[in-house]
Structure 1
Amino acid sequence: MYFHLLLLLLLCGIANGAAIDALPGWMGETHDVKALRPIIIEPPKVIALSWRPRAFLYKSFLTHEECDHIISLARNKLKKSMVADNESGKSVESEIRTSSGMFLSKAQDEIIRRVEDKIAAWTLLPHENGEAIQVLRYEYGQKYEPHFDYFQDKYNQALGGHRVATVLMYLSDVIKGGETVFPSSETKQLKDDTWSECGKRGMGVKPKKGDALLFFSLHPDGTPDESSLHTGCPVIEGEKWSATKWIHVGSFERPVREVTDCVDENALCGEWAAYGECEKNPSYMVGTKGDPGRCRKSCKVC
């Protein structure tokens, strides 16, 4: 009730053009107005692309400055992209995926925190269910062949369950190619010669700097949606930068607690470490001094 009153006062002040920097609290404290300002999602900018799979495009979801900032954080830290083996869950190199990429840290800085806030507000899915943002670069000829974002193996499913939703943010324009295509979608599109041959093979989205694609890999009842099969078409001209946020059915995080012993807290830690999760998912596996991870012993950090 009190928060609603503060918000009403804030909105009235904004509507009247008042320069309000702080609002008083009931115990004499003050509240930073900037911290109270909500994330605004603009429905007119969201386009429903398909219902099988459920896919939506948010035009200008990121500012160009946000796109450039994310690229600057990733540019010098890129490594060959990996895929999860369907049987073992191990991260392996594959010609299925030929991009390079890296993971940011959650809330790495204020800009990344703001982007994550916008994702949570748009998807209505909690912060803790999301993985860290992965930044990818596709150069000439590089692509990601048709695949699902939900998992086939039990090891990755143990970390927060299936991926239920994906938010794919385009950080750059691409002159030709690089489309995201759903070959099994029931939606039909009219396409001209500005689309690549790969891009014409199903419902697709052209990369446009600042746009974001949200699609769901599971049906509302939690079962895998096979129509969510998707591909990243080869880049024909230009360079493609993107940032992906995968969101799970359950929490991908764990409560902060005090740990004094060098131990693994999950029976699968050794296998996850062997599959490269210490590097892929350091927040869960390794953690920090103030917030230790679950698999410090297997990751050999203690």
Structure 2
Amino acid sequence: MLLFFRPASVIRLPNGDSYGHPFDPTRVTQISWHPRAFLYRNFLTDKECDHLIKVAKDKLEKSMVADVKSGKSVESKVRTSSGMFLKKAQDDVVAGIESRISVWTFLPVENGEAMQILHYENGQKYEPHWDYFHDKINQAVGGHRIATVLMYLSNVEKGGETVFPHSEIKESQPKAEEDWSECAKKGYAVKPKKGDALLFFSLHPNATIDPLSLHGSCPVIEGEKWSATKWIHVRSFSHRRSRKQGCWDENANCAAWAVRGECDKNPLYMVGSADAPGNCRKSCKVC
């Protein structure tokens, strides 16, 4: 006897209504297999987008990149945006988004880094790069980044596309002259649309790196661009250490951030609260 089941089109999350709309797989489109990339229309509600921007707006600092040799955070002309990190499960909105990401990617919440909010103004960009690591220092904590979820928090009048220069289907994507920037025409591109989310994998299913995952953020030509990035590792990214072990930093960039004043500018992430310790307590000299 054959049994037929009608698949559910919506997956309910715990307390999902307080976080926004539930996860709906019918809104997901596979846009590429090499690299593996998927687009989720209206992954975030307008209220969620506006909330993330509001929380981050007065805490932005110049974006940094990881040095390929030392693994340390350094300034670079290839990345000209500004940004800041939220704390994991910082509030109900952030916790809800993180839960939804876990359901979509089938990767545990604890494998994710803290969410980064980015702001691009006119002419600002991020040159093509890979999200997997080239240094052993960053790989030591959670392993390689296996996946990236890039959430668009605003519309962009012109430019600001996410582009995959090595995508195997870049030649098949039609691009009208007036609709795309010159940067976007150099690969397969995704236009930023408020609420949409782009998921792409930096590793193959066998956990080897995927060079085709090279991607960049095209320069903003008109307007401004807000986005939120969630990097997810192959292993847990949380340091489960006993308080008896004393002070520690959860991120290799903590010392550099502390020098730049982040302990005061972003205390919830750096120092923490009475309920949960921060990620950079040692560099902030609070323990």
Q: Which residue of 1 aligns with 2:173?
A: 189
Size of the alignment, in residue pairs? 267
Q: Which residue of 2 aligns with 1:205?
A: 190
Larger Rg, first or second structure (1 or 2): 1
What whole-Å deviation, never above 9, does each CA across 1:236-273 have from its counterpart, x for those lacking one?
Answer: 001000000000010011337443x644599xx8x755
Q: In 2, distance between residues paired with 1:296 and 1:44?
A: 42
The answer to whether the aligner puts 1:225 opposite 2:210 as a matched pair is yes
CA contact (8 A) 2:84 2:118 kept: yes
SS of the equivalent of 2:226 reads strand
How far 1:296 moved relative to its partner?
4.5
Identity %: 62
The answer to whether the aligner puts 1:82 opposite 2:67 as a matched pair is no
What is the aligned counterpart of 1:50 among 18, 21, 32? 32
* Counterparts of residues 139-178 of structure 1 (less than 5 Å): 139-178=121-160
What is the aligned counterpart of 2:93 among 100, 111, 116? 111
Cα gap change, 1:242 to 1:265, in 2 (>3 Å): closer
Q: In 2, distance between residues paired with 1:208 and 1:36?
A: 23
CA contact (8 A) 1:257 1:291 kept: no
Q: Which stretches of structure 1, 4 residues or more, deviate above 4 A after TM superposition?
A: 36-39, 263-266, 271-299
CA contact (8 A) 1:160 1:251 kept: yes
SS of the equivalent of 1:219 reads coil
CA contact (8 A) 1:140 1:237 kept: yes
CA contact (8 A) 1:139 1:240 kept: yes
**What value does the CA root-mean-square deviation take over the aligned residues?**
2.9
* Counterparts of residues 275-286 of structure 1 (less than 5 Å): 275-276=256-257
Cα gap change, 1:51 to 1:282, in 2 (>3 Å): farther
Cα gap change, 1:45 to 1:277, in 2 (>3 Å): farther
Most deviating of 136-145 and 289-298: 289-298
**Quick one: which amino acid aligns to residue 146 of structure 2?**
V
Most deviating of 289-298 and 214-223: 289-298
Q: In 2, distance between residues paired with 1:300 and 1:54?
A: 42
* Counterparts of residues 87-102 of structure 1 (less than 5 Å): 87-102=69-84
TM-score normalised by L of structure 2: 0.84
What is the aligned counterpart of 1:72 among 45, 54, 67? 54
The answer for unaligned runs of 5 or more in structure 2 is: 1-7
The answer for unaligned runs of 5 or more in structure 1 is: 1-10, 12-32
What is the aligned counterpart of 1:132 among 100, 114, 117? 114
How far 1:111 moved relative to its partner?
1.0
What whole-Å deviation, never above 9, does each CA across 1:77-127 have from its counterpart, x for those lacking one?
Answer: 100000000011111111100000001111111111111111111111100
Q: In 2, distance between residues paired with 1:294 and 1:242?
A: 22
CA contact (8 A) 1:262 1:296 kept: no
